[in-house]
Amino acid sequence: MAGKVGFGVCGLECEVVQVLAGVEEPQTFGGWLDSLRLIRHASSAIQIPRIASLLNPQAVDGSIHVNGFVRTIRKQRHVAFATITDGSSTEALQTILTPEQTKGVTLGSAVQIVGEWKPRPSRQDEYELHVRDLKILGEHDSTSYPIQKKFHTREFLRTLPHLRSRLKYNALLLRLRSDVISRVTSFFEELEFVQTHTPVITSSDCEGAGEVFAVESAAAVAKPSKTAATHPRPFFREPKYLTVSSQLHLEALALSVGRVWTLSPTFRAEKSETTRHLSEFYMLEAEVAFVGNVGDLMELLEAMLRAVVSKIQSSRLGEELLLARDDHDKDPENPEITRGELAARWDGITSEEKWPRITYARAITLLQEAERSNTTSFEYPPLVGHSLQAEHERYIAQTVGCGSPVFVTNYPRDIKAFYMAPSGESAGSDDIPTVACFDLLVPDVLELAGGSVREHRFDALMDSLVRHGLTESKEAGVPKNLQWYADLRRYGSVPHGGFGLGFDRLLTYLSGVPNVRDVVSFPRWHGRCDC
């Protein structure tokens, strides 16, 4: 049974399907072959089916070819059993072999198998592969392999980023990333957004926090020789940085084609050791022209996340994510959430109720009331005009969201970036000016996304640059590295806005993994950049 929730998104109408019961049927083996017939010139290796497609009980005529890795092997006097995996499913394929066929086969060996697909004697609704021919494609030294068949801590596995993705759960996280990217792409495509690629090397610090990595050639940063009078000339002539956000460039593109989005790597030179921060991570960002209401941007973000999660709930991937929680629940040292808690997270996103929205001023009032009533205490007092700390966001997410994401809007102007447009409202008894912006908070992960309406008027942007200390005065003009950005206000600017979502944080929330370092294949953080 399914229901539909309608949303008006930036002048468009879209529907998000909510699956209330039932699980989407996995793709059949026959359907998989039908798709492959369109690939007329595909190599034979590409045409070999993935194990996930074979696990759906069915009768298949003829020989079956499988490529994969040996997960387990058990040898008896007259028969041997091996399970094979290729990363396409958390389940493994059961194979029946002769002891002679297993000669040289060890745990982790890469093999190519040809056999007959037959029902299992004990359960006619399940099938197994009776091996006719086995070829070892890659030997595996199981004695020195660092990932043995025992419990390994997440910290230990982080020292082996090139190998840990072979574990079934880490492979599942890779497939989750791919699935979410696919669903986000479909969502934006239906709304006629243009996917773009923005530069990684930039001339400005978008957020203005100064936590940027400088970019230079190795020759330019090398120590000069004794005979060299000066350092080599900088590669770009002027200081350049790794991007901290694609937003400024997306604004330029949105004023060309109206609606744009990107999924791009971003970099922060932030010496943070928390479970929510990385030095290199992916941001999903969208920008929309002819939008001056921050509520439209929140509608867009909410509709996108509902669409993604509703599809996960009804997919085989979602079923695997929930089943994986059962395995982790048995590990007393692992703090990850239970199956029921993960399902509740998804339900909180796809529930029929709209996500709560409160202003920054109201959030501060709730926090102060909680302290006065001794409901809770905070290390940092919640004060108007100051940023919300992680402990404040956690309280708001738990008490206001109650399992659903919650929007906090209209933050004070002076604690937000220079490009945000005024909201027309004030905060606190001192009537502190606020900007038309929002942060999206979710339990445990806390800030998941942020967005705003952009200041599209040139004179108002100049005032903001002065106020934020990016130029001495309006007479001094626009800083050189932002002149191109100011040009967008000179030549046909319109009201516009957008948002940025921490893509890796989203994956931690959807999977139940508590540390963002474990949903990224090759994580980089302060002091660590392996592989």
Q: Which two tokens stand for residue 77?
A: 């006097």
State the Cα–Cα distance between residues 214 and 440, nearest whole angstrom.
30
Task: Looking at the structure, tell me whether residues 138 and 204 fall in a common domain.
Answer: no
Task: Looking at the structure, tell me whether residues 310 and 195 fall in a common domain.
Answer: yes
Helix axes 168-190, 503-511, angle to 10 degrees: 120
State the Cα–Cα distance between residues 9 and 11, nearest whole angstrom.
5
Does 153 map to a domain? no
Residue 406 vs residues 295, 398, 438, 449: alpha-carbon distances, Å: 13, 9, 10, 11
Q: Is the dihedral of CA 461, 466, 468, 471 positive or negative?
A: positive
Pairing of strands 259-267, 280-289: antiparallel
Neighbours of 426 (CB within 10 A): 16
Residue 147 contacts residue 160 (beta carbons within 8 Å) = yes
Task: Looking at the structure, tell me whether residues 197 and 316 fall in a common domain.
Answer: yes
Does 397 map to a domain? yes
Neighbours of 402 (CB within 10 A): 12
State the Cα–Cα distance between residues 468 and 2, nearest whole angstrom.
50
Does 14 map to a domain? no
State the Cα–Cα distance between residues 87 and 404, nearest whole angstrom.
32
Distance of CA 410 to the CA centre of its chain: 26
Tell me the CATH number at 395. 3.30.930.10
Task: Looking at the structure, tell me whether residues 332 and 428 fall in a common domain.
Answer: yes
Q: Can you give the pLDDT of all 531 residues of the chain as single tens digits?
A: 444 444 455 555 444 443 333 334 444 445 545 555 554 444 555 568 889 988 876 656 678 899 999 999 999 989 999 999 999 999 999 999 999 999 999 989 999 999 998 887 877 667 889 999 999 998 888 889 998 888 888 889 999 999 999 999 999 999 999 999 999 999 999 999 999 999 999 987 666 556 899 898 887 777 655 555 566 678 888 889 999 999 999 999 999 999 999 999 999 998 888 888 999 999 999 999 999 999 999 999 999 999 999 999 999 999 999 999 887 545 555 567 899 999 999 999 999 999 999 999 999 999 999 999 999 999 999 999 999 999 999 999 999 988 999 999 999 999 999 999 999 888 876 789 999 999 999 999 999 999 999 999 999 999 999 999 999 999 999 999 999 999 999 999 999 999 999 999 999 999 999 999 999 999 999 999 988
Last residue of a domain, one of 89, 114, 145: 145
Task: Looking at the structure, tell me whether residues 242 and 366 fall in a common domain.
Answer: yes
Task: Looking at the structure, tell me whether residues 407 and 281 fall in a common domain.
Answer: yes
Task: Looking at the structure, tell me whether residues 139 and 187 fall in a common domain.
Answer: no
Q: How many domains does the chain have?
A: 2
| Residue 425, domain extent | 168-223+232-456+494-518
Tell me the CATH number at 55. 2.40.50.140
Task: Looking at the structure, tell me whether residues 136 and 206 fall in a common domain.
Answer: no
